[in-house]
């Protein structure tokens, strides 16, 4: 672990070397946090810890972070693989294939053959940014975003794949659709894709 | 179930409590009242628990009629507030008989009123909070003309008598906001970091519950930061001054995105967020270094 940065008086940001370090630290810190910890938010290269200084002063938060060993991947509760069934009939499948000089079949095969991991969640509740170790499907966002992307759309942008939890505007390249319920506000947790979760996509017709 | 029928919702009225902490890792922001002190006070004045949901009325006007006798309190912004046509004091409990018109005029001081009712506004909670989160769409929709907002059961204790109201209206002139430098101050030229504190800023008109734009002299990134390219997205907090390439900071507020890719030069002291929420578009502000 490298530097801790104060983020105002109620949060601290931890720089990590890579995504593996982020997820290992996030898993460790979100396991059984002490009273006064509010949120532990993983991102691409950082973990943000917010706290209530009236309950837990900043120096004790820093001490807790420094003394908590990162959790190795195999030991995590989210180690179970999640499989999402996808119909690969998305509006941008042809465009993605053309951008990558692949056939549509090769795009689908690359998507289903990869083991993906939720790096972090952002943009919208339950919208996971999924990464894979050797990404073959790296494409830019659409030059003009769509005003409404349907819920369940499976899409690509940059090195990430993601699934729209609800209908929303969006600029990702749509490969297909899943019927899986990505966001259920009455479930615990409400998001199907949580940081660190391992995901595979399976083609269905 | 008793309810308040909204006749005039105004430009933006939402239900807000103290928000929905603990879900940021799933992309859900804290949300909740922007001026928490004002919401807590309004609830105390009518005998509610401080975290009870109130109405956050941005600027006003607002008008409604209840179908049950209730006690209310209006805090935060100051303006003309009347019950059955008779003016009532800010920051003071008032009795509103069933059928009497509650009218809140455009704010004259500050920007956001908080309207608490004995028993609270009893909309369905989502993830433990009744707050409307305008960015993520979680919680009840913003209040519209004609809505009926359910009123919860009030407890039988008497409303405390109050003869002295030791509160003054929100500041109208230049306010000074305490800031804590970082976490990404090293992305900015030293002269820009200095100017953040020596310059005068104004609250932009492009401001809402997600964030507030500041107007002033743009801040410049350091030569080293230019060489670094873009910052990978990282977790964000309310009160953060995010600086996009335009150089004009956006102060993130309660409904902010949980992560963002613009460097944060400094963060407001958490105790200053309530005051900031009452600034009016165009109002000027300066920053000082907060004592930690």
ipTM of the prediction: 0.94
* One domain, residues A103 and A178: yes
**Last residue of a domain, which of A18, A41, A74?**
A74
* Tens digits of residue pLDDT in B124-167: 999 999 999 999 999 999 999 999 999 999 876 666 666 666 77
The CA distance from B65 to the nearest CA of chain A, in Å, is 32
Task: Encode chain B (292 residues) as per-residue pLDDT tens digits.
Answer: 899 999 999 999 999 999 999 999 999 999 999 999 999 999 999 999 999 999 999 999 999 999 999 999 999 999 999 999 999 999 999 999 999 999 999 999 999 999 999 999 999 999 999 999 999 999 999 999 999 999 999 876 666 666 666 778 898 999 999 999 989 999 999 999 999 999 999 999 988 999 999 999 999 999 888 888 788 889 999 999 999 989 999 999 999 999 998 999 999 999 999 999 999 999 999 999 997 6
**C-alpha span between A66 and A189 (Å, rounded):** 27
- Half-sphere exposure for B255 (CA within 13 Å, toward CB): 20
Whichever domain contains A160, its CATH number is 2.40.100.10
Q: Does A127 lie in the same domain as A40?
A: no
Same domain, residue pair A31 and A102: no
Residues of B in contact with A141 (CB under 8 A): none
Test A50 with B24 for CB contact under 8 angstroms.
yes
For B258, the closest of A53, A122, A194 (CB atoms) is A122
pLDDT mean across residues, chain A? 93
What angle do helix axes A93-100 and A104-113 make, rounded to 10 degrees?
A: 90
Region B175-289: CATH code: 2.40.100.10
A139 shares a domain with A51: no
User: Which of A58, A76, A122, A157 is most worth mutating to test chain B (most B CB atoms within 10 A of its CB)?
Assistant: A122
Q: Domain with A7 in it: what CATH number?
A: 3.30.1360.40
- Measured between beta carbons, the chain A residues lying within 8 angstroms of B232 are 43-46
Quote the minimal CA–CA distance from B21 to chain A in Å.
Answer: 6
Burial A137-155 (b: 16+ CB within 10 A, else e): bebeebeeebeebebbbbb
Whether A9 and A102 map to the same domain: the answer is no
How many domains does chain A contain in total?
A: 2
Residues of chain A with pLDDT under 70: 1-2, 74-79
B146-183 core/surface letters (b: 16 or more CB in 10 A; e: else): ebebebbebeeeeeeeeeeeeeebbbeeebebbbbbbb
Interface test with A, best of B32, B131, B136, B183 (most A CBs within 10 A): B183
Is A87 found in the same domain as A55? no
Q: How far is CA A186 from its chain centroid?
A: 21
- Domain check: are A67 and A87 in the same one? no
Q: Is B85 on the interface with A (CB under 8 A)?
A: no
**Listed residues A26, A41, A74: the one ending a domain:** A74
State whether A10 and A106 are in the same domain. Answer: no
Any idea where the domains of chain B sit in the sequence? 3-158, 175-289
For B222, left (φ over 0), alpha (ψ -120 to 50), or beta?
Answer: beta
What is the per-residue pLDDT for A123?
83
Q: B138 contacts in A (CB within 8 Å)?
A: 125, 185
Helices of type H across B74-116:
none
The residue among A12, A41, A74 that closes a domain is: A74
Domain limits for position A111: 81-203
Tell if the CB–CB gap between A8 and B237 is shorter than 8 Å: yes
Adjacent-strand bridge partners of A51: A37
Which pLDDT score, from 0 to 100, does residue B161 have?
Answer: 65
Asked if B233 and A43 come within 8 Å (Cβ–Cβ), the reply is: yes
What rounded mean pLDDT belongs to chain B? 94
Buried (b) or exposed (e) across A47-85, using 16+ Cβ within 10 A? Answer: bbbbbebeebebeebeebbeeeebbeeeebebeeebebe
Query: Closest by alpha carbon to B5, among B152, B131, B145, B154?
Result: B145
pTM of the model: 0.93
């Amino acid at each position: 672990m490298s530097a801790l940065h104060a983020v105002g008086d109620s949060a601290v940001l931890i720089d990590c070397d890579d995504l593996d370090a982020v997820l290992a630290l996030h898993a460790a810190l979100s396991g059984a946090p002490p009273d006064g910890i509010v949120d532990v938010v993983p991102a691409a290269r950082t973990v943000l810890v917010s706290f209530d200084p009236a309950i837990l002063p900043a120096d004790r938060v820093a001490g807790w972070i420094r003394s908590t060993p990162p959790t190795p991947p195999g030991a995590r509760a989210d180690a179970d693989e999640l499989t999402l069934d996808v119909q690969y009939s998305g509006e941008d499948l042809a465009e993605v294939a053309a951008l990558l000089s692949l056939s549509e079949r090769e795009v689908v095969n690359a998507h289903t053959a990869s083991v993906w991991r939720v790096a972090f969640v952002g943009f919208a509740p339950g919208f996971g940014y999924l990464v894979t170790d050797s990404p073959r499907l790296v494409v830019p966002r659409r030059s003009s975003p769509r005003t409404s992307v349907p819920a369940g759309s499976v899409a690509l942008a940059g090195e990430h794949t993601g699934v729209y939890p609800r209908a929303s505007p969006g600029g990702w390249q749509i490969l297909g659709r899943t019927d899986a319920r990505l966001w259920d506000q009455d479930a615990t947790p409400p998001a199907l894709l949580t940081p660190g979760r391992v995901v595979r996509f399976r083609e269905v017709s | 179930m008793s309810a308040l029928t909204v006749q005039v919702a105004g430009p933006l009225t939402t239900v807000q409590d103290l928000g929905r902490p603990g879900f940021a890792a799933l992309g859900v922001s804290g949300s909740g009242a922007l001026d928490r002190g004002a919401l807590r006070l309004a609830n105390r004045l009518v005998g509610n628990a401080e975290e009870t949901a109130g109405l956050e009325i941005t600027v006003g006007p607002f008008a409604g009629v209840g179908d049950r006798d209730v006690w209310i309190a209006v805090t935060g912004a100051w303006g003309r507030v009347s019950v059955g046509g008779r003016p009532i004091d800010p920051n003071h409990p008032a009795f509103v008989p069933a059928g009497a018109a509650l009218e809140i005029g455009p704010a004259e001081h500050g920007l956001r009123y908080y309207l608490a009712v004995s028993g609270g506004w009893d909309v369905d909670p989502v993830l433990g909070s009744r707050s409307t989160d305008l960015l993520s769409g979680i919680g009840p929709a913003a209040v519209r003309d004609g809505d009926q907002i359910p009123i919860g059961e009030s407890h039988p204790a008497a409303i405390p008598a109050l003869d002295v109201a030791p509160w003054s209206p929100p500041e109208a002139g230049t306010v000074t906001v305490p800031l804590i430098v970082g976490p990404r101050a090293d992305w900015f030229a030293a002269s820009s970091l200095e100017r953040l504190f020596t310059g005068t800023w104004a609250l932009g008109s492009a401001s809402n519950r997600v964030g507030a734009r500041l107007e002033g002299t743009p801040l410049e990134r350091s030569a080293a930061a230019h060489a670094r390219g873009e910052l990978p997205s990282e977790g964000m907090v309310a009160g953060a001054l995010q600086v996009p390439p335009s150089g004009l900071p956006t102060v993130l507020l309660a409904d902010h995105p949980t992560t963002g890719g613009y460097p944060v030069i400094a963060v407001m002291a958490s105790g200053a967020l309530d005051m900031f929420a009452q600034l009016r578009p165009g109002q000027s502000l300066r920053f000082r270094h907060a004592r930690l």
